[in-house]
């Protein structure tokens, strides 16, 4: 049989090419893992997908994930790969597992357990620890195969502990010798294929025993020195998360100085904080001033609240700190549910009054006016009349009882949703302003992390559904613009110029989407981590096909078993256009 002109043809879809241009009907031909042609009536392909009436987009590039552990034991980077994502970038927020001396392994696990809510037994059983240096870690990843491409960043906490030991973990100031050593290792890491370097300056990031992350108070001299290590290599991006409180503009000024000296591109996380509901506006203005001055600085923003989920199967629930609940907390779920339905036990539990305390979401366990029952069709811009407090007032019941009954739904698998960032105004208008700004890109999905509290790996799907089709409480974002934002824009932010665009010569990372049928399921709990560990997952409906490097990895949301994904070593150059057919 004669060779076909193409390995794969997507036939007759509406192409949104990632440039932001309006869609057009065309065939897309794929050959040798690359896009070979776009146009009408292309020649036959060895395999064809009828995309008539469907969208054809580039694969989504998620630049803010935490698959650093999962990538060492799993081949499927779920939940991200089930949401049209074809490239993930991990190693964000300064946490990860390389470089690492053998005596520091537990320390880094405790940090990841605390910062990203990945249980110690999961990491202890799952991590093979076949590396010590960061290049060794990349070599270990390169031997593996995935359902997406993977890029890695050098995490500051691991680097600091590797160089400084106990002093680094205790947040002591780095000496000039320490800084020189970290800079040299950072240079070596990006030369070996790290996409960049990441750090954290937020009090929300703590070890599982409550200690702040080792990088919290790292000085400007330390951060600048490491950035200059990347500059010496002539490659690599910088990523940072900070509270930007109480003086966000001073922190931003520091970042600007670091970029001015190193000339390395930098992105930072930007959200609306309830501590300073208008602080993001000043940060955007400062960001724009830096970008307009020619500095390569972007903010990573998200299109919905950063929301914690509470439930009987999850890390926290409104009764987590209750002595009465403690009597049943260790029982299997079915036995806990039975106890919570017992009238006597239920009465004792509801009669108990508590004032929850703790870092991160601990103090919000009974914030009834900002807790929402999670429906089967999630609503990520809920109104005030949907809160537990409002539902309790309308029914004349105690809010604790309303919350308990919401969690008891579906045999104890019901959940409560607490939007703790990006929702201080009770709407997503701040998210709209941040997403629409010229100097921001979508990010912060945290795929692979917060496995018992947060399920935001579905950001790419909810961005499409909510912002381009279903939002009723304010302006929307054009579909072509949103596609460009989470394909071409995110790819360019981390130096991946070979993807995110449907054009000849670019990687054939693609989605075929039933746009009208695109929707999210409610988050669910799966027990598929090492040691039987629990994690939150969330399914999407409407992805007809997802393609990585020209190979179909998902059909109608189900994996095909193909694993064409590889480690991406470093920035990738824009391809030369293929000769016209």
- In order of their start, the domains of the chain are 6-58+507-559 (2.30.40.10), 61-305+423-493 (3.20.20.140), 308-420 (no CATH)
pLDDT at 358: 66
- Local confidence band at 578 (pLDDT 50, 70, 90 cut-offs): very low
The token pair that represents 333 in the structure block: 């779920």
Q: What is the pLDDT of residues 412-452, one digit of tens each?
A: 999 999 999 999 999 999 999 999 999 999 999 999 998 99
Q: What is the pLDDT of residues 77-115, one digit of tens each?
A: 999 999 999 999 999 999 999 999 999 999 999 999 988
- How are beta strands 306-311 and 266-269 bridged, if at all? unpaired
- Is 341 within 8 Å of 334 (Cβ atoms)? no
Nearest to 319 by CA among 356, 293, 344: 356
Q: What is the pLDDT of residues 465-520, one digit of tens each?
A: 999 999 999 999 999 999 999 999 999 999 999 999 999 999 999 999 999 999 99
DSSP letters spanning 331-375: S-HHHHHHHHHSHHHHHHHHH-------TTTGGGTT-GGG-EEPP
Nearest to 437 by CA among 298, 231, 245, 256: 298
Handedness of CA 258, 260, 266, 268 (dihedral sign): positive
DSSP letters spanning 231-288: HHHT--EEEEEE--TTTHHHHHHHHHHHHHHH---EEEE---BTTBTTHHHHHHHHHH
- Local confidence band at 351 (pLDDT 50, 70, 90 cut-offs): very high
Is residue 177 within a helix (H) or strand (E), and if so which, with residue range?
A: helix 176-192
DSSP state of 184: H
Cα torsion for 19, 21, 27, 28, to the nearest 10°? 0
Over residues 287-310, mean pLDDT: 97
Q: Enumerate residues 6+ apart whose C-beta is below 8 A from 535.
A: 451, 452, 525, 526, 528, 529
Distances (CA, A) of 317 to 279, 371, 456, 481, 522: 30, 11, 18, 38, 17
The token pair that represents 558 in the structure block: 């189900």
The token pair that represents 516 in the structure block: 């009208």
Q: What is the pLDDT of residues 1-40, one digit of tens each?
A: 356 899 999 999 999 999 999 999 999 999 999 999 999 9
- Phi and psi at 205, nearest 5°, equal -95, 110
- Is 571 within 8 Å of 296 (Cβ atoms)? no
Neighbours of 10 (CB within 10 A): 31
C-alpha–C-alpha distance, residues 53 and 279, integer Å: 43
Identify each DSSP E strand in 451-556 by its residue range: 510-513, 519-520, 524-529, 533-537, 540-541, 543-548, 551-555
C-alpha–C-alpha distance, residues 77 and 325, integer Å: 35
The token pair that represents 485 in the structure block: 């934002």
C-alpha–C-alpha distance, residues 178 and 201, integer Å: 19
C-alpha–C-alpha distance, residues 311 and 50, integer Å: 42
- Phi and psi at 534, nearest 5°, equal -95, 145
Q: What is the pLDDT of residues 204-253, one digit of tens each?
A: 888 888 899 999 999 999 999 999 999 999 999 999 999 998 899 999 99
In the chain the first and final C-alpha atoms are separated, in Å, by: 21
- How are beta strands 45-50 and 6-15 bridged, if at all? parallel
């Amino acid at each position: 049989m004669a060779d076909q002109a193409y390995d794969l043809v997507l036939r007759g879809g509406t192409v949104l090419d990632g440039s932001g241009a309006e869609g057009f009907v065309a065939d897309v031909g794929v050959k040798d893992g690359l896009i070979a042609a776009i146009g009408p009536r292309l020649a036959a392909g060895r395999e064809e997908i009828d995309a008539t009436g469907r969208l054809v987009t580039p694969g989504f590039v998620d630049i803010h994930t935490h698959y650093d552990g999962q990538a060492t034991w799993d081949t499927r980077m779920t939940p991200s790969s089930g949401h049209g994502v074809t490239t993930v970038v991990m190693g964000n927020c300064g946490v990860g597992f390389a470089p690492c001396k053998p005596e520091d392994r537990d320390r880094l696990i405790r940090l990841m357990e605390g910062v990203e809510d990945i249980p110690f037994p999961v990491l202890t059983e799952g991590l093979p620890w076949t590396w010590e240096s960061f290049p060794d870690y990349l070599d270990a990843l390169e031997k593996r195969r995935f359902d997406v491409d993977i890029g890695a960043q050098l995490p500051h906490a691991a680097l600091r502990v590797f160089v400084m030991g106990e002093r680094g973990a205790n947040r002591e100031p780095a000496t000039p010798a320490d800084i020189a050593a970290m800079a040299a290792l950072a240079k070596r890491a990006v030369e070996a294929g790290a996409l960049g370097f990441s750090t954290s300056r937020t009090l929300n990031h703590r070890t599982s025993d409550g200690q702040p992350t080792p990088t919290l108070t790292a000085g400007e001299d330390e951060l600048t020195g490491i950035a200059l290590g990347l500059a010496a290599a002539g490659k690599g991006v910088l990523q940072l998360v900070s509270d930007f409180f109480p003086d966000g503009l001073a922190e931003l000024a520091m970042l600007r100085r670091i970029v001015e000296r190193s000339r390395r591109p930098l992105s930072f996380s930007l959200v609306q904080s309830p501590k300073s509901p208008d602080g993001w506006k000043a940060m955007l203005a400062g960001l724009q001033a830096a970008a307009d001055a020619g500095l390569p600085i972007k903010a990573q923003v998200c299109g919905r609240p950063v929301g914690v989920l509470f439930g009987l199967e999850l890390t926290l629930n409104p009764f987590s700190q209750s002595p009465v609940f403690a009597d049943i907390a260790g029982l299997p779920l079915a036995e806990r549910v039975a106890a919570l339905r017992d009238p006597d036990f239920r009465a004792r539990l509801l009669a108990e009054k508590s004032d929850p305390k703790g870092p991160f979401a601990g103090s919000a366990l009974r914030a009834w006016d900002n807790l929402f029952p999670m429906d089967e069709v999630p609503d990520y811009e809920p109104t005030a009349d949907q809160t537990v407090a409002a539902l309790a007032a309308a029914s004349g019941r105690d809010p604790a009882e309303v919350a308990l009954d919401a969690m008891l739904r579906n045999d104890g698998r019901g959940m409560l949703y607490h939007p703790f960032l990006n929702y201080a105004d009770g709407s997503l208008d701040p998210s709209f302003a941040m997403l629409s700004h010229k100097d921001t890109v979508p990010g912060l999905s945290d795929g692979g992390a917060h496995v018992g509290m947060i399920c935001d790996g579905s950001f790419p799907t909810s961005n499409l559904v909510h912002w381009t089709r279903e939002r009723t409480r304010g302006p929307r974002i054009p579909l072509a613009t949103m596609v460009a934002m989470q394909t071409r824009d995110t790819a360019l932010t981390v130096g991946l110029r070979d993807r995110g665009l449907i054009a000849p010569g670019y990687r054939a990372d693609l989605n075929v989407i039933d746009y009208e049928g695109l929707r999210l399921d409610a988050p669910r709990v799966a027990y598929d981590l090492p040691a039987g560990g629990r994690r939150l997952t969330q399914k999407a409906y409407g992805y007809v096909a997802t393609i990585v490097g020209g190979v179909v990895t998902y059909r109608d949301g189900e994996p095909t078993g193909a694993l064409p994904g590889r480690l991406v070593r470093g920035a990738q150059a824009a391809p030369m256009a293929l000769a016209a057919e």
